[in-house]
Chains A and B, each alone.
Chain A
Amino acid sequence: MKTGDAIEIKDLNKWYGDYQALKNIDLNVAHGERIVVCGPSGSGKSTLIRCVNSLEDHDSGRIVVDGIEMIDNESINAIRSEVGMVFQQFNLFPHLTILQNLTLGPMKARGMSKADADARAMEYLERVRIPDQAHKKPSELSGGQQQRVAIARSLCMEPKIMLFDEPTSALDPEMISEVLDVIVDLAEEGMTMIVVTHEMGFARRAADRMIFMDHGEVIETGTPTEFFEAPKTERCKQFLSQILQH
């Protein structure tokens, strides 16, 4: 049994040239905790979660994921095998079938046999409720279906932590809920997750803790109730009024 938190981030800083994208971020995520990160665009939300699996490298600070400190390529690979990620643009492999999208990682990175990988893939396709699409190409699926495939593809690697980078921002409105339902299911099963999203209804349903970011800083954190009912900072109030007025 691992002690400590699933994710520990200490004093994280990142620059793009002269622009500081992340400023002294401290964040601990407990095992099984569900975190929703929100904030205006350009606030550093995506950059933050992309640092967790080293899709972006950071300039200073410490990142420890599931007890593994991010120091070299070896530890980055170890961390990536614990962390799944779902992207705004799905990023499915367009030349492969849905089933092949799901089995590529398990077969090539984990050395699993095709039969085992297929069986596992079908199991996760059932969970995201699209087993009948297994032999189609991604372009034949709707956006919502593609994003559910992307979630299943991540789950096939059996990660302990899932990162969601605006998973519904590229979707047509009528497809948002089918994707969010799948994420809520995962949350209810106790998956540790960080979700960057503007879907505040989802945040109320699924989050243990809200994090509000602006200009590369964490401005406010709290439970969804605290956060929505009684935001402490002016910037947060302003942000909430902007996105909740519709």
Chain B
Amino acid sequence: MKLRTSFLFGCLIFLVGCNAAPGTWGWYVIDPRTPAGYNNIRFLLNGFGATILLSVIAAAMSMIVGMLVALPGMSSNRWVRLPSRIYIEFVRAIPLLPMLFWVFYGLPVVLKSMGISVSIDAFWGAIITLAISDSAFTAEIYRSGIQSIAKGQTEAAKTVGLNYMQTMRYVILPQAIRRILPPLANQFIYIVKMSAFASVIGMQELTRRANELVVTEYRPLEIYSLLILEYLVLVLIISFFVRWLERKMGSDESR
């Protein structure tokens, strides 16, 4: 349904563009039938690689960091809980763009003053920012998922001799994962979209390429329309994959 609507909407824009008076629409910039248009569209589509790689690595890191933050965050000891709470409240409060600038321009200076001399390129700067920024949300998703598993499960695991890590691994997480999956997928979509910010520090992903082409071709409407379509396709693929995953998990573990 969603797909059909978007498709019709896209066709409508295209038809309007074709029939409008000269000077308002100009699809020729990305018309693959002309050599220039073909080159342009290839240039734009080549951004997929960077956007996907950026999002996937950042999401994977965010899932790991999120777990490391979430687990102590559920301790019964408030002093163990505290650092995790502070991390979440602090990171969650920083807007992505300022954080990106801070990591890209500021972090190398901080590291250098500590005697560590590394340069952070746009790719890793963007990944670190996206991963950290997202990890606070991932951590809260884990926490709510894990805490939604009945307390009796932990108690039963204790009485059959399992320690904390075993209880998590064999009893709680396998049950929590199905409840965590939908909000986690949401977060992944969010990362894909936020990866557009990497364009401002010079990362040549989808948005950056669109911006660069707009500067040379002066056709913002057509190029940004295509850009929006590119993200739409990515997000629809993710949605489809997650639905498939949910169905698969639902079938082999009855509840």
Decide: B255 and A110 in contact? CB cutoff 8 A.
no
**Range of interface residues on A (Cβ < 8 Å):** 20 to 34
| Residue A142 is within 8 A (CB to CB) of chain B in the complex | no
Which chain B residues border A139 with CB–CB below 8 Å?
A: 254-255
Contacts of A156 in B (CB 8 A): 160
CB < 8 Å: which of A83, A89, A153, A157 contacts B152? A89
Asked if A154 and B155 make an inter-chain contact with CB atoms under 8 angstroms apart, the answer reads no
> A residues 92-127 with Cβ under 8 Å of B?
92-95, 104-105, 108-110
Contact of A87 among B156, B161, B174, B175 (CB under 8 A): B156
How many A-B pairs with Cβ below 8 Å? 67
Judged by a CB distance under 8 angstroms, whether B162 is at the interface is yes
Judged by a CB distance under 8 angstroms, whether A197 is at the interface is: no
Q: B159 contacts the other chain (Cβ, under 8 Å)?
A: yes
B255 touches A84 (CB 8 A): no
Assess whether B158 is in contact with A55, with CB atoms less than 8 Å apart: yes
Q: Decide if A109 touches B160 in the complex (CB within 8 Å).
A: yes
Instruction: Tell me the dominant secondary structure on chain B's binding face.
Output: helix
- Whether the Cβ atoms of B152 and A87 lie closer than 8 Å is yes
Determine whether A60 belongs to the interface, using a CB cutoff of 8 Å to chain B: no
Contacts A108-B170, A137-B254, A139-B254 given; does A91 touch B161 at CB 8 Å: no
Selected contact of A109 from candidates B152, B162, B174, CB within 8 Å: B162
Chain A residues in 8 Å Cβ range of B157: 93
A140 to B255, CA, bound (A): 9
Q: In the bound complex, do residue A93 and residue B166 qualify as a contact, i.e. CB atoms below 8 Å apart?
A: no
Q: What band does the interface of chain B fall in when counting residues whose beta carbon is under 8 Å from A? A: 20 to 34
Distance A100 CA – B163 CA, assembled complex (angstroms): 17
Contact code string B94-131 (vs A, CB < 8 Å = 1, else 0): 00000000000000000000000000000000000000
A13 at the interface (CB under 8 A from B): no
CA distance A134 to B155 in the complex (A): 23
Could you tell me if B166 and A53 are in contact, using CB atoms closer than 8 angstroms? Answer: no
Docked-complex contact B254 and A93, CB < 8 angstroms: no
A124 to chain B, nearest CB (A): 13
CB distance from A55 to the nearest CB of B (A): 5
B171 within 8 A of A: yes
Q: Give every chain B residue within 8 A of A140 (Cβ-Cβ).
A: 254
Q: In the complex, what distance in Å separates the CA atom of A77 from the CA atom of B161?
A: 7
Binding site for A on B (CB under 8 A): 150, 152-153, 155-163, 166, 170-171, 174-175, 253-255
Q: Taking beta carbons and an 8 Å cutoff, which residues of A are in contact with B?
A: 53, 55, 77, 80-81, 83-85, 87, 89, 91-95, 104-105, 108-110, 137, 139-140, 150, 153-154, 156-157
Given contacts A80-B161, A104-B170, A156-B160, 5 further A-B contacts (CB under 8 A): A77-B161, A95-B253, A109-B166, A139-B254, A154-B159
